[in-house]
A and B are shown apart, each in its own frame.
Chain A
Amino acid sequence: MEHIVEKLKRQIADFTPKVRSEKVGVVVSAADGIAEVEGLDDVMMAEMVAFDVGEGRPLAEALHDGGTLLGMALNLEEDTVKVVILGDAQKVREGMTVKATGNILSIPVGKDLISRVVDPLGEAVDGGLPIKGEKRNPIERKAYGVIERKSVNTPLHTGIKAIDGMIPIGRGQRELIIGDRQTGKTVIAIDTILNQLNEPAERRPVCIYVAIGQKDSKIARIVQQLKDRGAMDYTIVVSAPISSSAALQFLAPYAGAAIGEYFMDAGKDALVIYDDLSKHAVAYRQMSLLMRRPPGREAYPGDIFYLHSRLLERAARLSDKMGGGSLTALPIIETQEGDVSAYIPTNVISITDGQIYLESDLFNKGIRPAINVGISVSRVGSSAQTKAMKKVAGKLRLELAQFRELEAFVQFSSDLDEDTKKRIEKGKLMVEVLKQNKHVPLPFEKQVAMIYVSGADQFNDADKSRVAELETKFFALLESQYPEALKTIAETRDLSEETQKMLKDAVATFKKTNPELYGR
């Protein structure tokens, strides 16, 4: 107690109030979270302005509110400025003084944000201590240019066999996750975060999950899942729930990018998930219409493409000269009735380096993750795959595509040759192998082992209805009797002849000990 009193005394004694000349304006109208301000002649685009909510109110009340409410200048018009209110818009009154801060909207960034839940202004919303941050990063920043970047060549494992095998994601890449509601889009994002636990600490990226326009209950559930699995130790959640203003929902992904850039600039890897950009576009449309910007297609404003392109361009893999850090972006888009040709989905598809397309039909058939391999693609390709994965999954995509074609053909023909029958059986097996339960991401070495033995015809005679059980038991056997095989793959990131032989031996042992899992 004495210590606190002493500290307070010192702070009060050291405090020198500064009298400053300020440029101020006056609110001429305020409605729907937008204030029209007259007099801020020198204000910049996206500059932070402060509403003097304490004006004319007793000191005690002003202290209770903190005295100011922030806004962001967005429409610079001939005589007035339209400001988006970032907070409780009910407090803004006509005639209220507005002060230009001279700063572009920024948020505190730093290591102390890790394992915290913050709002898009960097304020803690998890009930913990206020966030100070090591510095402030502007919410809007120009993306790095060509010279500062290098090509994406390091994988970012999601822990999902179908993705890491066929649609590899590299560090610094932008890969879209797209699909209808309830097809498992968020699950892929969360599994990717959870899977980073399987990475060695020095290679583990800092994960930033940006929740835009989600229900508070969903965000709370995700945070709890991450906490329970120990993933919050390297994760930051930026929360702009559906109950927050459109302005905060609009800012949330930029805040996430600003936080991610801090780690990228420090030479580290970061992963940012924007869940989801459809709701982000809707929030921006709401703001734009309220600011009387002319509506375009689907009533979105004309700059909706730029809204997402300037955000996603901030994902990058920096050159060694720039520290070699990376920011990987996984934007999520929700489609309506599988329509990928709608305005926002086509925009984001064209901006990103590939997409993971999830289908309701596959989901309902029990194929989970419900990835449509045919139209899912990663434009970075195998350059973001380890040697081991390249070796085992090289033909997987083609085989599955052939299987899908043959499967459709078989529906009209009963008399099949041996080769076709084999291909169909193999395809069925691979579909089963690629199925995976949610929140069970697999370490890279186990994925390689499983895809290798299945692809090398080692499990062709397995009971296809029990592949999940077979996989669990096979991994148990590998861990207990052949740990060297997994260790070698993890360390060398390659699949040598010797390891391949070890895996085949493991299958032979497995067949002997688990005969019940074989036979069609």
Chain B
Amino acid sequence: MRASSYAQAFHELTTSRKIEEGALVKQFVAIVAGNGHAHLLPKIVRSLERTLRREEKKETIEVTSAKELSTGDVTELLKREPFKHALSPLHKKVVRKTDPTLVGGTIVRTGALRIDASYKRSLLELYRHVTEEL
């Protein structure tokens, strides 16, 4: 039995909220120990942490811009192309970040998806394009 399978089962039971949390933890530990897999508990915890981190990333949309944007600016931006495809009903949180090295433009990131519309990237691509041609 893999630690990740235990972690996934525990996570799904937690999100379904069918069992009260305290009771769920007690039952879970008892089942794991009963199966002779108590030694897997530290791995299960780490796997659960990873799953939660991934879930959080999926629910968070991170907007990085060269200059600070207001909440209204970000809402407007996320309605526009190409960023509107990144949005999904899963998103619960918007994080705004500022990175002056971007020169201009925006980077939107959610989970494992990144949409880079920064000037820095465009300038780097232009540089490569010109130097390769020369």
Residues of A at the B interface (CB closer than 8 Å) are: 4, 7-8, 11-12, 15, 17-25, 38-41, 54, 56-59, 62-63, 66-67, 78-79, 97, 99, 130, 132
Contacts and interface: CB of A to CB of B under 8 A. Distances in A.
B122 interface: yes
17 contacts: A4-B134, A8-B130, A11-B129, A12-B126, A12-B130, A15-B125, A15-B126, A18-B125, A23-B112, A54-B124, A57-B101, A58-B101, A62-B101, A62-B120, A67-B124, A130-B132, A132-B132
B60 interface: no
B52 interface: no
Interface of B: 2, 4, 47, 50, 54, 57, 82, 85-86, 99, 101, 103, 109, 111-117, 120-130, 132-134
B107 to A, nearest CB: 10
Nearest to A78: B4
A63 to B, nearest CB: 6
B112 A40 contact: yes
Nearest to A132: B132
Given A12-B130, A54-B124, A19 B117 contact: yes
A17 B103 contact: no
Contact of A15 (B54, B111, B129): B129
Given A15-B126, A24-B109, A54-B124, A97 B101 contact: no
Given A19-B117, A21-B85, A41-B112, A79 B4 contact: yes
Given A56-B99, A58-B101, A22 B114 contact: yes
A19 B130 contact: no
A92 B73 CA distance: 33
A284 to B, nearest CB: 28
A475 B129 CA distance: 57
A269 B125 CA distance: 38
Nearest to A39: B112
Contacts of A58: 101
A21 B116 CA distance: 7
A239 B80 CA distance: 49
A398 B26 CA distance: 82
Given A23-B114, A99-B114, 6 more contacts: A12-B130, A21-B82, A22-B115, A41-B112, A58-B101, A62-B101
B27 to A, nearest CB: 25
A73 to B, nearest CB: 14
Contact of B114 (A24, A63, A66, A78): A24
Nearest to A42: B112
A23 B82 contact: no
Contacts of A130: 132
A139 to B, nearest CB: 21
A22 B116 contact: yes
Contact of B122 (A17, A54, A63): A17
A21 B114 contact: yes
Contacts of B130: 8, 11-12
Contacts of B113: 21-24
Given A24-B113, A57-B101, A63 B127 contact: yes
Nearest to B113: A21
A68 to B, nearest CB: 9
A63 B112 contact: no
Contact of B125 (A17, A21, A78): A17
Nearest to A63: B127
A59 B120 contact: yes
Nearest to B124: A67
Contacts of B116: 19-20, 22
A126 B117 CA distance: 37
Contacts of A97: 114
Instruction: Pick the most buried of B109, B115, B120: most chain A CB atoms within 10 A of its CB.
Output: B120
A220 B47 CA distance: 51
A427 B124 CA distance: 70
Contacts of B82: 19, 21
A17 B112 contact: no
A12 B86 CA distance: 30
Contacts of A22: 113-116
A59 B115 contact: no
A19 B105 CA distance: 11
Contacts of B2: 78
A79 B112 CA distance: 13
A17 B4 contact: no
B124 A79 contact: no
Nearest to B108: A21
A28 to B, nearest CB: 10
B112 A24 contact: yes
Contacts of B4: 78-79
B43 to A, nearest CB: 11
Contacts of B129: 11, 15
A92 to B, nearest CB: 18
A66 B125 CA distance: 9
Nearest to A41: B112
Given A17-B126, A59-B120, A67-B124, A11 B133 contact: yes
A21 B87 CA distance: 12
B52 to A, nearest CB: 12
Contacts of B85: 21
* Closest 3 pairs between A and B when the two form their complex, measured CB to CB: A17-B122, A19-B117, A24-B114
Contacts of A19: 82, 115-117
Given A21-B86, A78-B4, A62 B112 contact: no
A79 B132 CA distance: 37
B124 A21 contact: no
Contacts of A4: 134
